Structure 1
Amino acid sequence: MTSNPTGRITTIIDPGDALGEVLFGLIMALTLTVGSRLVFEEEGLDVRELVVATIGCNVAWGIIDAVLFILGTTFYKSRRLRLFRQIKAARSESAALTVLAREFPIEKAPFAAEAADTDALYRSLLTLAGRADPVKVSLAKGDLLTGIAVFLLVSATSIPAVVPFLLIDNADLALRTSNLFLIMLLFVTGYAWASFSGGRPFYAGMTMTCLGLLLVAIAIALGG
């Protein structure tokens, strides 16, 4: 049994997807807090309004993202069922292998495979499909748990954004602290991403930070 929170999360949702949701939530929160600085300089900062807006925005997008994830999962399963039917309806073995090659293109994989190995893989999939029976497309418990995980990850990223406002009386200092904390978390997210994918953690952390800030700047410039 997995004993740490990270391990429990990665048994529910893919680490790449989880970190992507965290990144999305951080960008949403940072867009609000950085954008509020422009308002702060002109009109003064309403801390309560900013806290409510930040939490509300991330919770709302957490719900939207979770629903979209579940819809995407349903679409993926329906597509696989359609693929199964296409294989069953193929008039020849070569036609069925062509369907599989189009759906699972090995040349796009991050490795080079021998032609004989690729052919053996597609033939194994064809044998598996030939012996299997179609099942009704439905959401499993795991799909719902993943949707809940998506919601929690996006929503929870609002917490580090608002905590400084709850602990620091000076609104300007709290805003700066919040922004700095979120930027640091962008780096941590990139670092963790590389740790899971086998990349260079520091390089990935800096890249994620710069990319996140660029996206925030674009969102603010477009009125987001």
Structure 2
Amino acid sequence: MTSKPIGRLTNIIDPGDALGEVLFGLIMALTLTVGSRLVFEKEGLDVDDLIVATIGCNVAWGIIDAVLFFLGTTFYKSRRLRLFRQIKTARSESAALTVLANEFPIAEAPFSARGADADALYRTLLTLACRADPVKASLPKGDLFAAIAVFVLVSATAIPAVIPFFFIDDAHLALRTSNLFLITLLFVTGYAWARFSGGRPVYAGMTMTCLGLLLVAIAIALGG
């Protein structure tokens, strides 16, 4: 059964988007902590600087991601309004149906549809569009809450990365523990992703872990 906090979160933001933001935050935190181990191996590890850098980086990217999410939502709604206007101004029914087919291609759907069924779907959408009236594209509170959720998800992934440094005196042991926490959370993220999408949880968890570590390695190799 889905817990109440998770249920509330999925009412605000799509589960796939939420898990994607968590994955992004984990990769950011891992890149910093793993990279710091390589950089400071000879010079020594400055724990305070690492904590500030990890939290600051994830908070900064949380703000950036939230703004991009907000802009993406605005673009999506404006595009739908433009589609509505294209249908309204189409010269013929066949032209309007073509606009709908281009916007909602059945071929990309995860099911096989017959030609007659696809045609019936587009004609139904066309009928609904012709009866409807355009409304001004706006951003309701739900979109703002979703952007805030994006910020919180990306920022919060820094917490498990820095917690070990507050309880373990040995900086290198704390760093290894931090890395272990984050890698475990990569697996948990993949596991949860499969639970929401209907995939194989353990396989998805292992795949997400390997993919996350690969992306961290690429980021470090490129100086990220």
TM range (shorter): over 0.9
Structure 2 distance, partners of 1:134, 1:45, is 59
Aligned partner of 1:9 in structure 2 is: 9
Aligned partner of 1:173 in structure 2 is: 173
Aligned partner of 1:141 in structure 2 is: 141
TM-score normalized by the length of structure 2: 0.98
Aligned partner of 2:164 in structure 1 is: 164
Gaps of 5+ in 1: none
Letter in 2 for 1:10: T
Structure 2 distance, partners of 1:50, 1:170, is 14
Provide Cα deviations, 1:45-71, integer angstroms capped at 9, x if missing partner.
000000000000000000000000000
* Match runs of 1:73-222 below 5 Å: 73-222=73-222
SS of structure 2 residue aligned to 1:5: helix
Shift of 1:40: 2.4
CA RMSD of aligned residues (A): 0.9
Structure 2 distance, partners of 1:180, 1:94, is 58
Q: How many residues align?
A: 223
Letter in 1 for 2:74: T
Compared CA separation, residues 150 and 102, structure 1 to 2 (3 A): same
Provide Cα deviations, 1:148-199, integer angstroms capped at 9, x if missing partner.
0000000000000000001111000000000011000000000000000000
Letter in 1 for 2:59: V
Shift of 1:122: 0.4
Letter in 1 for 2:104: F
Structure 2 distance, partners of 1:66, 1:222, is 25
Letter in 1 for 2:27: I
TM-score normalized by the length of structure 1: 0.98
Letter in 1 for 2:22: V
Aligned partner of 1:20 in structure 2 is: 20
Structure 1 distance, partners of 2:138, 2:4, is 30
Letter in 2 for 1:200: R
The percentage of counterpart residues that share the same residue type is 85
SS of structure 1 residue aligned to 2:143: helix
Structure 2 distance, partners of 1:3, 1:60, is 29
Structure 2 distance, partners of 1:5, 1:74, is 27
Q: After TM superposition, where is structure 1 displaced by more than 4 Å over at least 4 residues in a row?
A: none
Structure 2 distance, partners of 1:80, 1:115, is 25
Aligned partner of 2:40 in structure 1 is: 40
